[in-house]
Structure 1
């Protein structure tokens, strides 16, 4: 009898603590129910998981990130918003890449300045990316800024540190921000030669415990490199690889010159000044040189993160999908969208638009892959053409609309990328680039198999149950 009483008391205390824990911080209803499920079904263990994965960033950190957003661009954003409004109200041909609604959405949600006369090189292969990056790093004379999610201590990672050390010894200002979760295999010894040469290295949002991050649910997934304020890289490729994970050979990376480099530089400054305890950087002309302006691509660089009141990248994706008249082609390593994105794709497909979604068969995260399966099943039932890439881990993140507009960068099409991670994306208004990514999509289709409604119907009950269960935890994966 007394054992039953103790068990009831423990259950009541656990349930009460779970409710208080989850509701003490505002979050969307799906994440609230997911965490309640974890805390109620896994007493003690659930609270340990919540301590590391469920707690939000402190108010001070969020305020610091929001403050850094005001790096003197507010006035330019306001001017561009006014120009877009005048253009729309006058009915004149839009000078804003034919998509004034999308431009205005991104200006409002993230202060994403529209930049013109950019030159963009698309890189789809890891070897091509690594070769181009190292070639540009060797030319640096003033500064090198790197913001990375994963740097591996393999041959490429070690070669990077060696090259950065040489540059620092030559007087080049070298600053590196890395994510402690994505780059968990690195230690202080890895960075020691660079630091001793005068380079600066900071783990993103480190705590008093140093590299230890008790809120590992918030990860800096941005991949940015800026060289002398003239050349920049952004996209999906990490630096280096490891035999412990599936090799990523296919992704989408951008090499940029032109006005957009300043946007990536400003983003790096904001993140550096938020995470660095000392040696913060301030505006200097040398970090923002006049661009060559010899390109023809118009684009907006959009940041996403938990400090935002609006999910800027997701809003941009939704507005981008709404532009479609003929086709929407999507690639993502994981596909775990919220209802708004899922509904937008389904609506487009049922309106007669050619909607295609491609994901890899093989990934490094089995739970996310299983949750992806649930959402792919919904797409297939709605008439979306789904493809599963067979030739390794497809890591590309891209949305191509009507062979005219393109979104690519670091965010996956999942809840984590929109709500929890710090991400960076490029919304590109350039038919030539969109068609290049579309051609690559067709090449990838040759190494992919269609995922059909017949396959969904033939799935075992166990497989469907696994997908359903994984989907329950999608908001916190």
Structure 2
């Protein structure tokens, strides 16, 4: 048989390359929504016969199709549904307190997200890892019915051991506990904390953990970057903080990295449960049902001041949701846009929205760390600073240790916090969760934090960027070309 085929193998290879290339190129053309992405993939497919098509099959196709628990009320029964519905913010409520432009933001959120803007919430910022970890461990110790934890990184270090011990103790008390760690994040420490958790009786799993020949197929490169901890369906923690001792001054001292996490209560907690429960179901196949997971109505009254919406985004039906919300927020800004981000690599659309706002007279301030834990990302983002600096935006390099916080405030009354970075990975590849907050006191408090960071920061200038050696600037531009994959 092989002897018969051997003389024709070049012809077979040619036919195979044409068929695979044509199929891949047609698929990319018909399914991609961005011209640059489509052209890039078609170019790879055409210029690299067979190999290009295989690369596209592995990394270019979004295969994640899942049943999403899109509404928290799907987890509720009977009378409780009406109780939760009474917390939904109305158009009149938002217009009366914040004006027509933020009613437009509510409309945008209603149309592009899976969750409602709700009243009756509380939110407290936790400034340091020590403060956040202490508050989280305290709530875990008080848990009576259920705990669900989803995180990107859960290191097996001294902080990770504290959390593992607390979760194991909760299981021994009879609490239902579920822990979901991203497959990539689980490998940040060796051995993984998963074995420690499972040995202690905790039900734990990894997100997107299929490994074939070193590749996580069929969902290569797609990660959960979400950080959600919900205790008894009443108290939640979310933000940018992973579980690792590098954020604890108790263990890291002066080298401790900074981050901002948030403790929330109210009806938005039910949405965070729904998001984490959908991810757990996708990863493990288990649907969280039963008395332990039944949500109770919030203790606050409907209409209470703080309005919050959970914004989930990811490479499934919620693709680019965070991107759309940010575009809307930049477009309604009148006086100020304040951004703190460790990895600031916005795409062309977001840059255009920011510089357009700045040209309208909006004060645009962007704070990034001087010390960055990802040097390649830092170099790549520096390469595009000039696009904003020459269009009236201001960029500041914050002093001190690395700051992993993700904070955004518009006009001192609208805030956006959570796990999303302003980079291609967070905006298109990762599963993220953020909070949209309408509350002037909270937004003003965030602005004061940003002002404090700016007061000791160094302003980035066009002159300073241009004065650096050409080889440095050239390397940064080369790294910038690969920014979608950093």
TM band (smaller chain):
0.7 to 0.9
Any idea what the Cα deviations from partners look like across 1:288-332, whole Å, max 9, x if unmatched?
A: 112111663111111001112652111111111122111111111
Superposition map of 1:118-129 within 5 A? 118-129=121-132
**Counterparts of 2:470 and 2:209, CA distance in 1:** 44
Superposed, which structure 2 residues align to 1:251-262 within 5 Å? 251-262=259-270
The 3-state SS of whatever aligns with 1:250 is coil
Are 1:31 and 2:32 matched, yes or no? Answer: no
Matches within 5 A, 1:303-342: 303-308=312-317, 311-342=320-351
Query: 1:38-49 residue pairs with structure 2 within 5 A?
Result: none
> CA contact under 8 A between 1:35 and 1:476: conserved in structure 2?
no
The answer for the alignment partner of 2:309 in structure 1 is 300
Give secondary structure in 2 for the equivalent of 1:475.
helix
State the alpha-carbon separation in 1 of the partners of residues 21 and 476 from structure 2: 25
Query: Who is 1:170 aligned against?
Result: 173
CA offset at residue 365 of structure 1? 2.5
Gaps of 5+ in 2: 1-12, 76-80
After superposition, residues 396-415 of structure 1 pair within 5 angstroms as 396-415=405-424
Please name the residue that 2:229 is paired with: 225
How do 1:422-461 residues align onto structure 2 when only pairs under 5 Å count?
422-461=431-470
Cα-to-partner distance string for 1:66-89 (whole Å, 9 max, x where unaligned): xx33664699999999953x889x
**SS, match of residue 459 in structure 2:** strand
CA contact (8 A) 1:397 1:411 kept: yes
Question: Which residue matches 1:268?
Answer: 276
The alpha-carbon deviation at position 340 of structure 1 amounts to 1.7
State the partner residue of 2:135.
132
* Mean Cα deviation higher: 195-204 or 142-151: 195-204
Match of 1:7 in 2: none
Q: Alignment partner for residue 389 of structure 2, among 367, 380, 389?
A: 380
3-state SS in 2 of match to 1:219: coil
Structure-2 separation of matches of 1:334 and 1:18? 35
Residue 152 of structure 1 contacts residue 242 of structure 1 at CA under 8 Å; is this kept in 2?
no
CA distance in 2, matches of 1:226, 1:457: 48
How many angstroms apart in 2 are the aligned matches of 1:336 and 1:304? 18
Q: In structure 1, how many angstroms separate the alpha carbons of the residues matched to 2:156 and 2:378?
A: 27
Aligned to 1:4: none
Shift in CA distance, 471/17, structure 1 to aligned 2, threshold 3 Å? farther
Q: Give the Cα–Cα distance (whole angstroms) in 2 for the partners of residues 155 and 21 of structure 1.
A: 47
Residues 172-181 or 329-338, more deviating? 329-338
Distance of 1:247 and 1:12 partners within structure 2 = 58
Task: Describe the SS at the equivalent of 1:386.
Answer: strand
Instruction: Normalising by structure 2, report the TM-score.
Output: 0.83
CA distance in 2, matches of 1:313, 1:405: 15
TM-score by length of structure 1 reads: 0.85
RMSD, aligned CA: 3.7
Query: Are 1:298 and 1:429, in contact at CA under 8 Å, matched by a contact in 2?
Result: yes
Q: CA 1:431 to 1:201, structure 2 compared with 1: closer, same or farther past 3 Å?
A: same
Q: CA deviation at 1:206?
A: 3.0
Displacement of 1:93: 3.2
Q: Could you give the per-residue CA deviations for residues 409-440 of structure 1, whole angstroms, max 9, x where no partner exists?
A: 00011122121110001010011111111111
Q: Within the alignment, does 1:416 sit opposite 2:425 as a pair? A: yes
